[in-house]
Amino acid sequence: MSKRDYYEILEVQKNSSKEEIKKAYRKKALQYHPDRNPGDKAAEEKFKEAAEAYEVLSNDDKRRRYDQYGHAGMGSSGGFSGSGMTMDDIFSHFGDIFGDAFSGFGNFGGFGGFGGGRSNVRKGSNLRIRVKLTLEEIAKGVEKKVKVRKSVTCNDCNGTGANDSNGISTCTVCKGSGQVTRVTRTILGAMQTASVCSTCNGQGKIVTKPCKTCRGDGVVPEEEVIRIDIPAGVAEGMQLSVGGKGNAAPRGGANGDLIVAIEEEPHPDLVREENNLIYNLLISIPDAVNGTTVDIPTIEGQARVKIEPGTFSGKLLRLRGKGLPDVNSYGRGDLIVRVMIYIPESISKDERKILDKLNESPNFMPDKNKRKSFFERFRDYF
């Protein structure tokens, strides 16, 4: 099933401000919050969908890429790693947006610390790599396999950081909640605030007997080969996100993401201009006057192009659909052939005599009334 438009999900316009987007997300999140819809899977999915939309539209860089390339600009997984997003991700990133809307209601689902005492779940850091692509790979899309060195969950302790089940104890400060609560009396009455427990860093647990392999971190360095599906039509500077393929979080939590920055390798013959490709064709003066047929390179191979008699230098020929596909599947660009006439730097005496003879002919004299300037033709072409 295709992803819905992020602006449609939050019911905002493309020119909406950050504050408008934040208000729209809060409205949707409160509407579909699990505490208000216990056991409702459809509401939970809409809750996650709204969080994913906000995660992209609240970030200037991600929003620019989304506006330009759509969901493909976010990578195959989109914001928040798409299906890899968890409730812990949402509450750890955007819990402050809910404010006190779910505080003080007892065991109301136990999400995000709003009702039932939840330990702070950390997320592993993201990894960033660069992948170079040829125009041929960009035209068709490609699968790349890359080897990265990253932090992975320790197999000996299953990420707990302890040497055995007896090596972990409940934090005595927060009593396992991961948060400490303080009550302050003001003129408006008692004010309750909660913050991350500094003793256990929000984990609610303390490692008393560290694992000998990971030394209590719960993660170890390791190399992994990761498969990346790159869609057709990507461009230089785009970033794709592979959800959950970043560093593992110390002692449990969600993995970070792998951020893939796209680089284009120069093509020996073709120059890219958005989805169009440009080829500079150099022909001789006789071929420009008499006309000819030439083979030019394309992404798929070669194409035969007819040069009409009397072709002038700078003339543009367009081969429809021979460019690159749009990353959002909105058609395909063209291959534009720019004809340039070769002028030799030096000529022989006999060649000069021929040119002098031709120069005496009125047919070889420039006529402003018969031909538009190059710039006028260029403007009319586009």
Domains 123-151+223-265 and 271-381 share a fold: yes
Q: What tokens appear for 111 in the block?
A: 């999400």
pLDDT for 172 equals 84
* Tokens 């989805």, residue located: 275
The CATH class of 271-381 is mainly beta
**CATH 1.10.287.110 given to domain 1-121:** yes
What are the boundaries of each domain within the chain?
Answer: 1-121, 123-151+223-265, 271-381
> Which residues share a beta bridge with 123?
254
Tokens linked to 217: 């971190």
- Each residue's pLDDT tens digit in the chain (382 positions)? 567 889 999 999 999 998 999 999 988 888 888 767 777 888 888 888 999 999 899 988 888 888 877 887 776 444 444 444 555 556 555 555 554 444 333 333 334 333 333 444 578 889 999 999 999 999 999 999 999 999 998 888 888 888 887 888 888 888 888 888 887 776 666 677 778 888 777 777 888 888 888 888 888 999 999 999 898 989 888 888 888 899 988 877 788 899 999 999 999 999 999 899 999 999 999 999 889 999 999 998 899 999 999 888 889 999 999 999 988 777 889 999 999 999 888 889 998 888 888 888 887 777 666 555 555 555 555 5
Per CATH, domain 123-151+223-265 is 3.30.70.1280: no
DSSP, residue by residue, 128-157: EEEEEE-HHHHHH-EEEEEEEEEEEE-TTT
User: Which residue matches tokens 């850091």?
Assistant: 125
How many residues are there in the chain?
A: 382
Q: What is the DSSP string of 344-381?
A: -S---HHHHHHHHHHHTSGGGS--TTTS--HHHHHHHH
Name the residue among 256, 240, 225, 260 with its Cα closest to residue 126. 256
Q: Specify the pLDDT at position 297.
A: 93
What is the reported pLDDT for 317? Answer: 92
Amino acid in position 300: E
Half-sphere CA count of 221, side-chain side, radius 13 A: 2
Structure tokens at 181: 């609560």
Q: What is the DSSP string of 204-215?
A: SEEESSB-TTTT
Using CA atoms, how far residue 291 sits from 302, 310, 362, in Å, is 19, 7, 20
List C-alpha distances in Å: 254 to 120, 163, 228: 11, 21, 20
pLDDT value of residue 267: 92
User: Measured between alpha carbons, how far is 369 from 31 in angstroms, rounded to an integer?
Assistant: 70
How far apart are the C-alpha atoms of 72 and 56, rounded to whole Å? 13
Give φ, ψ of 289 to 5 degrees.
-80, -45
Report the pLDDT value the prediction gives residue 101, as an integer from 0 to 100. 44
Neighbours of 49 (CB within 10 A): 19
